[in-house]
Amino acid sequence: MALTNNQKLYIGCFAAIAVLCIATLAAVSGDFGGSDDSGGEKAAEYGYEAWTGDILTIITGDPDYELPGETESLLFAVQAAIGAIIIGYFIGFNAAKGPKSEKSVKSEDDKE
């Protein structure tokens, strides 16, 4: 079974992503802490001042309010699902645009 150009492209992209991920994990040593605090600290070093507050602080009026862990997990899962739907749509769209099989071409000729 010969691979089509799209299949070769997908395999090549997945291989490139795998190589980049493995090389990054192998080359970097140290703490893989979150970027929430480090990003704010780095921005403060350059004198950045926020021009608006946190959305939850604005809504609740409590600057120390945090969402429960279950709600954060739900929002993350919804975000991941939306991304998967978008990626799946484009992969399916490109697959449908691919070359038509001989059988489907014959059935379209019969309709005319």
The full set of domain ranges for the chain reads: 64-91
> Above 60 in pLDDT, residue 76?
yes
What pTM did the predictor assign? 0.45
CA distance 25 to 28: 6
Residues of the chain with pLDDT > 70: what percent? 82
Pick 111 or 41 by higher pLDDT.
41
Taking the CA of residue 12 as centre, how many other CA atoms within 13 Å lie in the half-sphere pointing to its CB? 7
Residue 23: pLDDT band with limits 50, 70, 90: very high
Q: What confidence score (pLDDT) does residue 106 get?
A: 62
What is the overall mean pLDDT for the chain? 84
| pLDDT tier at 109, thresholds 50, 70, 90 | low
25 pLDDT band, cuts 50/70/90, is confident
